A = this chain, B = another copy of it.
């Protein structure tokens, strides 16, 4: 559900509603997330929410689409390993940040809602697209044997964090972001992610 920013009252309503979705998801999980509960918490009439979003799946999708609606760009540290470490540090903080955690809650919700799953993939693919420059810069600096598949490189760098923290529920290890970045950078340097020229 992508829509133009409309400004004014409509934009305020959207902000209130989407904030309420996040708050309810954290407090009560997916099972506590209903259109009525969202409307009540946002102080908005329930028909407004039904008309504009229809159901919980569309509400979650809009939360995720809104998260892409920013000016985020990847760090530019001057080396591939440090760029990937800085990216991993962001992922690590999103997944381990003290207390209940919206990133984890949204990923869990994506196992319940196809709409949320599709929107989450869209969010990640947008991030990977923005990160293409990380691989280009590394190739330009001569850190790679040639052009690389930046998406594959980024997945290799970040996947161990999601795996450890979300699936294995391992004790968080502050050396993980750097180690996973080093591993992906070493593999990239060895040409594993090289694309045919």
**A contact residues vs B (CB 8 Å cutoff):** 107-108, 110-111, 117-118, 120-121, 124-125, 152, 155-156, 158-160, 162-164, 167-170, 179-180, 182-184, 186-187, 189-190, 192-193
Contacts and interface: CB of A to CB of B under 8 A. Distances in A.
Interface of A is mostly: helix
A46 to B, nearest CB: 24
A168 B111 contact: no
A182 B152 CA distance: 12
Contact of A192 (B108, B155, B159, B182): B182
Contacts of A186: 186-187, 190, 192
A163 B162 contact: yes
B179 A183 contact: no
Contact of A111 (B111, B125, B152): B111
A183 B159 contact: no
Contacts of A182: 187, 192
A155 B160 contact: yes
A195 to B, nearest CB: 12
Given A125-B168, A155-B168, A159-B163, 13 more contacts: A108-B111, A121-B169, A121-B170, A155-B160, A156-B156, A158-B163, A159-B162, A162-B162, A182-B192, A183-B187, A183-B192, A186-B186, A187-B187
A126 to B, nearest CB: 12
Nearest to A164: B155
Contact of A156 (B111, B169, B183): B183
